[in-house]
Amino acid sequence: MQTENLWSHIIRIADLPARKPTTFDLAPGDKALAEIAAELDLLGLKKLRFTGQLAPMGRRDWRLEAHLGATVTQACIVTLMPVVTRIDEDLTRTFVTEMPEFAAGSEVEMPEDDSVEPLTPTIDLGSLMVEALALALPLYPRAEGAHLTQAAFTEPGATPLTDEDARPFAGLKALRDKLGKGED
């Protein structure tokens, strides 16, 4: 049985005022921060805050405009030392009752506007917050001054393959060197 996560913050669309925006300000507690950090494989997560408003658009659609702020700690991809990053991202989503339909059997293209989503009876602001955080994380965090030098791995007793060996004409060079030695 799946339980609701600590960061979930569900809003029922039917409970929202239909003529004015609804503001929100989410700042998960320490336990929720630890759960989110574990979910996203972070070393640490502090000061997570998701603020904004959900406003009606026309008679049935809704628009979310929000700001995400967080301080995350990730492992450096080179040294595995902690790397602290400040994230400040704006998020816009439009929830519509009628999504564009695609012809059956035809090639499906992704819409250019990926901020449009189907409107459901509820919107989980907490899940949107975590999704936005996951998308904003640096893919390859690197500690200051860290750089990857050449690394070669192989089984014991074998010569490791280097970048030079993998070049297209490396085999021809070896053959030339071998043929050159036979002429002496």
User: Which range, of 34-38, 72-76, 89-93, 166-170, averages the lowest pLDDT?
Assistant: 166-170
Residue 106 pLDDT greater than 80, yes or no: no
Q: What is the pLDDT of residue 1?
A: 37
Question: What tokens appear for 112 in the block?
Answer: 């250019």
Domain ranges of the chain: 10-100+108-136
User: Which range, of 24-33, 35-44, 77-86, averages the lowest pLDDT?
Assistant: 77-86
87-90: long-range contacts (C-beta < 8 A, 24 or more apart)? 87/133, 87/136, 87/137, 89/132, 89/136, 90/65, 90/66
Query: How distant, in Å, are the alpha carbons of 154, 166, 170, 174 from that of 157?
Result: 8, 19, 22, 21
Residue 150 pLDDT greater than 90, yes or no: no
Q: Of all residues in the chain, what percent carry a pLDDT higher than 90? A: 42
Q: Residue 1, CB half-sphere, CA atoms under 13 Å: how many?
A: 1
Q: What is the mean pLDDT of residues 89-94?
A: 94
Residue 79 pLDDT greater than 70, yes or no: yes
Q: What is the pLDDT of residue 31?
A: 94
Residue 125 pLDDT greater than 90, yes or no: yes
Residue 105 pLDDT greater than 60, yes or no: no
**pTM, 2 dp:** 0.71
